[in-house]
Amino acid sequence: EPEVTQTPSHQVTQMGQEVILRCVPISNHLYFYWYRQILGQKVEFLVSFYNNEISEKSEIFDDQFSVERPDGSNFTLKIRSTKLEDSAMYFCASRWTAEKLFFGSGTQLSVL
Amino acid sequence: EDQVTQSPEALRLQEGESSSLNCSYTVSGLRGLFWYRQDPGKGPEFLFTLYSAGEEKEKERLKATLTKKESFLHITAPKPEDSATYLCAVQAGWGQAGTALIFGKGTTLSVSS
């Protein structure tokens, strides 16, 4: 079965550094998302992306965050200057229909 | 404010002991209610989508139902491999915006043999 692939699985960075989290969505999907889950808390929506532009974003997704689809297969989340509170599991997701949203296995980001 | 509340937070069952998980929601314009399974260190795995009150869906030992205010995930004769965190999420709003899912905190199910 096709799956959403995320790399790396773990990322450790120093506070203030830039990080890029990478995702390869399922190939025929058109809608792409980033969610995050802080340890012990709810899965939270960050941003949705369709037709090469952001369609919706949450209050969490401030100017420090950006997304890009640099080619036909990759979808990236960049955090410009990481903070301690950015430590979380980041999930990429994609869908073709409204019925099913498929999630990747996540990137565990640790900011020291 | 759109909100999803799941109960109980944790549930321990013996193998074969059926039970139900609850998801209550408050949203303006429900587009869909979703159930996901999440194993430790993994992403949510899609189980069901429900769209309107009275709708039911089944998959193996799981059955999801929906009313105007809540959804239930019924687990019949669970096995140890059903142990996981079960997440409920709603999609609210209309148009191209409003496709984001709002998640509850989940119910962590442990099934012992």
pLDDT of B98 reads 54
A42, A45, A105 ranked by CB distance to B43: nearest: A105
- Residue of A83, A101, A78 whose CA lies nearest to B103: A101
- For residue A108, pLDDT over 90 is answered with yes
> Considering only alpha carbons, which residue of chain B is nearest residue A93?
B43
Tokens of A54: 């952001």
Higher model confidence: residue A97 or residue B5? B5
Three-state SS for A100? coil
pLDDT attached to residue B2: 80
Look at residues A42, A24, A11, A36 and name the one whose alpha carbon lies nearest to residue A89.
Answer: A36
Beta strands in chain B (DSSP E): 3-7, 10-14, 19-26, 30-38, 45-50, 56-59, 62-66, 70-75, 84-92, 101-103, 107-112
Select the residue of B31, B97, B105 nearest A56 (Cβ to Cβ): B97
Position A64 scores a pLDDT of 96
Q: How far is CA A5 from CA A103, A105, B44, B55, B99, in A?
A: 9, 7, 13, 32, 21
- Measure the CA–CA gap between B95 and B33, rounded to whole angstroms: 17
| B95: pLDDT strictly greater than 60 | no
Give the pLDDT confidence score for residue B93 in this predicted structure.
67
Chain B window 26-65: which residues touch A at a Cβ cutoff of 8 Å? 31-32, 34, 36, 41-46, 49
Q: Which of A26-30, A76-80, B32-36, B59-63 has the lowest mean pLDDT?
A: A26-30
**pLDDT for the residue B97:** 52
* A43/B103 Cβ within 8 A: yes
Q: For A52-77, how does the pLDDT look when each residue is reduced to its tens digit (9 = 90+)?
A: 999 999 999 999 999 999 887 899 99
